[in-house]
């Protein structure tokens, strides 16, 4: 009976070690910022504005970012939100019926965008941001106006 307990303890230890290794590998994979080759869209992207001299706000994007409409190569984002004031109140982007993509305040020139099929958008102050839906500009809201809408990819 002593050997059975040792074998059982060894198997339990091996199972625990396997779970730890699997967890570490999953975390490393989740933290990988490189987009998967051949992926058609990134869920959301955030960037800061380009230099004021070239006038291309939002053109300097991170490696995980989806290209903006001015990039020419790649798909136009379903929705693109750019902060045009010094500080923009909370901006919320969410895959319709799914994951939260972006939920925070923004600074001037900062861009949040998504190329998902359907995106729910909530703007705390619609006058503080510039919104593009499938590459077309959305009319600006009034000062302090809260807007909630859903954008579907065309």
Q: Please, what sign has the CA dihedral across residues 21, 22, 26, 27?
A: negative
Q: What is the pLDDT of residues 68-107, one digit of tens each?
A: 444 455 688 999 999 999 999 999 999 988 899 999 999 9
**Which residues have C-beta within 8 Å of that of residue 120, sequence separation ≥ 6?**
92, 93, 94, 95, 96, 148, 149, 150
Domain ranges of the chain: 1-32, 45-152
| The pLDDT of residue 2 | 87
Mean pLDDT score, 2-21: 95
| The pLDDT of residue 46 | 54
Q: What is the pLDDT of residues 125-150, one digit of tens each?
A: 999 999 999 999 999 889 999 999 99
| The pLDDT of residue 96 | 85
Mean pLDDT score, 114-127: 92
| The pLDDT of residue 14 | 96
């Amino acid at each position: 009976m002593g050997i059975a307990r040792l074998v059982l303890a060894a198997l339990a230890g091996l199972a625990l070690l396997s779970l730890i290794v699997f967890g570490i590998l999953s975390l490393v994979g989740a933290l990988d910022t490189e987009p998967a080759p051949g992926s058609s869209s990134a869920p959301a992207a955030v960037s800061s504005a380009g230099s004021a001299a070239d006038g291309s706000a939002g053109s300097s994007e991170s490696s995980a970012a989806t290209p903006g409409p001015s990039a020419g190569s790649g798909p136009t984002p379903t929705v693109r939100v750019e902060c045009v004031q010094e500080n923009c109140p909370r901006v919320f982007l969410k895959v319709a019926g799914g994951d939260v993509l972006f939920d925070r305040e923004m600074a001037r020139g900062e861009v949040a965008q998504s190329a998902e099929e359907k995106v729910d958008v909530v703007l705390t102050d619609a006058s503080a941001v510039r919104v593009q839906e499938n590459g077309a500009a959305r009319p600006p809201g009034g000062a302090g106006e809260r807007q909630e809408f859903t954008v579907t990819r065309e």
